[in-house]
Amino acid sequence: MTSPELLRFCLTVQYDGSPFHGWQRQKADRTVQGELEAVLLELTRARRPVVGSGRTDTGVHALGQVASVEVPERWSAAQLRSAMNARLPAEIWVSEVRRAAPGFHPRYDAITRSYEYRLGTDREAASPFCQRWCWNTSEDSPDPRLLAEAAQMIKGERSFRSFAKAGQPTRGERCRVMESAWSPWSTGAGPGLRFLITADRYLHHMVRYLVGTMVEVARGRRPLQDMRDLLEHPGGSLVTSPPAPPEGLFLRRVEYPPERIGDHPDRAPQQDGDQWGSARTQTVEWSR
């Protein structure tokens, strides 16, 4: 019997990373990739590897993770999204499905990735309905002015070796940061702050080390000059502050050239903001 023709689809996936041991499939632990592949096995009666735009660590969330998968041609984008969402656990939601261009690769075709880090600065951040999705800093709230000054130093192209976990891959330490800024954010129960960063690539734990160090500066526990020195003199004797906890970090958006993506997507209708801060209205963005 002839095997059915396979079509490649691009998925935009949102997830609450709290119950998962990260994105990447593991033998013994529950992961986002593992859950997606289990549902696709049920739907198509065959193993369908899901390729993501990048890995997220244990406890890290996503508003716009991008992944690709090949399924038999009888599936339309709308059918695939509906069937997957009917079977996925409540913590994972496929917000968009579209046909991908031949050879599309979510990781290697990406132009930029954007992350968001959320701080809860009000006592309401200690609520169990908030603390899974932000870093509760209400006991010692950072100075927004110092956070803003530190964030401006990050923009540009340089080595971020100082802000990375040891043992980086051999493809280099340089990253080009196009956006780095703090802005007000609401937990839904009280005020907070969020850090937005967009770059062409990241080192391991880079965003969390940046946030952890900026918060220590903004709490007055180390001078602002430390931030500048860590950026301008990577690999020196000065070390960063501990990384910010994973629960405040979200993969927000991945951007691609338009020619790498196929037809118009099947997309969920926009909904009003919720505890995630309009999480279900965030989708992958395409370069224009």
In this structure, are residues 256 and 112 in contact, taking their beta carbons and an 8 Å threshold? no
Pairing of strands 61-72, 266-267: unpaired
Structure tokens at 171: 């493809």
* Catalytic residue of the set 16, 29, 57, 200: 57
Name the β-bridge partners of 256: 286
Which one-letter amino acid corresponds to residue 248?
G
**Phi, psi of 48, deg, nearest 5:** -125, 100
In this structure, are residues 48 and 70 in contact, taking their beta carbons and an 8 Å threshold? yes
**Phi, psi of 253, deg, nearest 5:** -160, 145
In this structure, are residues 95 and 280 in contact, taking their beta carbons and an 8 Å threshold? yes
Q: Count of CB atoms within 10 A of residue 264's CB? A: 9
Distance, CA of 44 to CA of 78 (rounded, Å): 15
Q: Is 16 a catalytic residue?
A: no
In Å, how far from its chain's centre is CA 96? 16
In this structure, are residues 202 and 156 in contact, taking their beta carbons and an 8 Å threshold? no
Catalytic positions are 57
